[in-house]
Amino acid sequence: MKSNWAKVDLKQVPHIVVSPPGPKSRALHERCTKHFKGLSSQVKLFPVAFESGYGCTLKDVDGNTYIDFSSGIYVTTLGHCHPKIVEAIQKATATLMNCHDFTTEVKTRLVEKLAQVLPGDLKGYQFYDCGTAAVEAGLRICRAGTRQHEFISCFYDFHGKTYGAVSLAHMRSPVYGPTRAPGFHMVPRPDPYRPLWKKADGTIDTDAYIAFYEEYLDKGTAGQVAAVVVEPIQGWGGSIIPPDDFMPKLRAFCNRHKLLLMADEVLTSMGRTGKWLAMEHWNVLPDVVTLGKGFGNGFPVTAVAVREPLMEHFESISASSSYGGNPMACAAALACLEVIEEEQLLERALYLERLAMKRMNTMLEDHPIVGDVRAKGCLMGIELVKDKRTKEPFDEAGKRVYQKAFRKGLAWIPAGHILRMSPPIVMDDETLLKGLDLIDEAIAETEKELLGA
């Protein structure tokens, strides 16, 4: 049954007492960044310092209170400080913090629960403390299970910041060198708003993408591909949702060529899109899956899940880690799974999707710079363009809308010209609509400044 613990009083939130980032935020940020470097674009564009959070709200050190449309960048899917999750972590920290990979009661209950909720024969698990560690372990499983070493991934997907994970993605850094690691290949993936290949009627041609993969597999690789690695829905790339027929066709492509399909669901799993796994929207069962972010609702716990034929390969890849599966992490993850079931939050996320899309479609009609809107559960995006006909990205508008809405009391995520939103799936209707109203106002003000509209 749905709980009202996270309901927001919109008479009190958002509540801006001093224009953010306020003086205390700026002073604290200046002190911290004398030593702490490598900040995200979110913080660089809006250097606010947060003090606390509860439910679907955040409070900064200057006393401003915000509606949270970020969830700590897709992490606090169940809101801040959910009472059951807090209690579970507190109990675990007072009992046993770490015993390496020895068996515990709470770990046993967690793996049994995962086996119950995850689809198909995804029955083998190993736990980690961050998404990129889970991705790296997933790559090792794919290599061990196929005795092949190459990988194919997609343009604009994101998989983490260690070398293997970076090699799956479009990231460049002098630390990693000018090229990806050997054996890592990238191909385009369907973007319904910006299709690379179209049919005669102008709609996206997913068969053309698969045909390209067939050709690339033959001509562009060394013939030793272990797996195709894919984000079901792109997060960093801008909440880009593939056409409904693409993932089934990708699964069939992998089956034809005896390739594994690895779904990086660090961002999309555990209710974020209204399913335990986003791949379930298309009835596709991957061979290897990574879980994270909302898996622990803020506590650093991630996982690799594999189908039964691959389970034995955990033994050969040195799968254990210092922090993976510690009792605190398992307690947090188990509590999250139970909350999602008890509060019927998969259904809630899908309901919020419908509510948001209705409101965002109005914004699409009303605003000349809004080119596209999209959502799958509580993974949402608004794409800003200079011209709806040419679809030229409008990065300056994205920056301004992000900052303006933040000043109005909306904490959220920038991505250049694409506005990304990931409200907690416990959010009530009125708070979701209020957050979208703030974005609507910020877009209107930005259009007036940049277009004179």
Which residue from 340, 377, 358, 365 is spatially nearest to 436, judged by alpha carbons?
358
Using the predicted structure, report yes or no on whether residue 46 has a pLDDT greater than 90: yes
Q: Which CATH architecture has domain 83-342?
A: 3-Layer(aba) Sandwich (3.40)
What mean pLDDT is predicted for residues 110-123?
98
- Ranges for all domains in the chain classified under CATH 3.90.1150.10: 1-69
Tokens 């991705």 — which residue?
135
pLDDT at 176: 58
pLDDT at 56: 98
Using the predicted structure, report yes or no on whether residue 379 has a pLDDT greater than 70: yes
* 390-400 b/e (C-beta count within 10 Å ≥ 16 → b): eeebbeebbbb
Strand order in the sheet with 413-415: 370-376, 379-384, 418-421, 413-415
Using the predicted structure, report yes or no on whether residue 147 has a pLDDT greater than 60: yes
Residues 6+ apart with CB under 8 A from 177: none
What mean pLDDT is predicted for residues 190-195?
96
Least confident of 149-158, 165-174, 327-336, 358-367: 165-174
Environment class of 419 (CB within 10 Å of its CB; exposed 0-12, middle 13-18, buried 19+): buried
- Ranges for all domains in the chain classified under CATH 3.40.640.10: 83-342
pLDDT at 178: 61
pLDDT at 201: 92
What mean pLDDT is predicted for residues 379-392?
98
Beta-carbon-side half-sphere exposure of residue 8 (alpha carbons within 13 Å): 30
Residues 6+ apart with CB under 8 A from 27: none
Distances (CA, A) of 23 to 41, 62, 67, 403: 20, 7, 20, 17
- CATH classification of 1-69 is 3.30.1600.10, yes or no? no
Residues 6+ apart with CB under 8 A from 102: none
Using the predicted structure, report yes or no on whether residue 1 has a pLDDT greater than 60: no
What mean pLDDT is predicted for residues 330-335?
98
What is the value of pTM for the model shown? 0.96
The rounded distance, in Å, linking the Cα atoms of 174 and 171 is 10
Task: Kindly state the tokens that stand for 182.
Answer: 């050997």
Mean pLDDT, the chain, integer: 95
> Confidence class of residue 452 from pLDDT cuts 50, 70 and 90?
confident
What mean pLDDT is predicted for residues 140-159?
97
Using the predicted structure, report yes or no on whether residue 272 has a pLDDT greater than 60: yes
What mean pLDDT is predicted for residues 258-266?
98
Q: Which DSSP category does 198 fall into? A: B
Q: What percent of the chain has pLDDT over 70?
A: 97
> Confidence class of residue 133 from pLDDT cuts 50, 70 and 90?
very high
Using the predicted structure, report yes or no on whether residue 140 has a pLDDT greater than 90: yes
Reduced to 3 states (helix: H, G, I; strand: E, B; else coil), residue 206 is helix
Are residues 257 and 246 in contact, defined by beta-carbon separation less than 8 angstroms? no
Phi and psi at residue 143, in whole multiples of 5°?
-65, -45
> Confidence class of residue 453 from pLDDT cuts 50, 70 and 90?
low
Using the predicted structure, report yes or no on whether residue 177 has a pLDDT greater than 80: no
Using the predicted structure, report yes or no on whether residue 405 has a pLDDT greater than 90: yes
pLDDT at 338: 98
> Confidence class of residue 303 from pLDDT cuts 50, 70 and 90?
very high
Distances (CA, A) of 400 to 17, 18, 338, 448: 21, 19, 39, 12
Beta-bridge partner residues of 381: 374, 420
> Confidence class of residue 5 from pLDDT cuts 50, 70 and 90?
confident
Q: State the DSSP string of 326-344.
A: -HHHHHHHHHHHHHHHHTT
pLDDT at 134: 97
The tens digit of pLDDT for each residue in 80-108 reads 999 999 999 999 999 999 999 999 999 99
Q: What is the phi-psi region of residue 78: left when phi exceeds 0, alpha when psi lies from -120 to 50, beta otherwise?
A: alpha
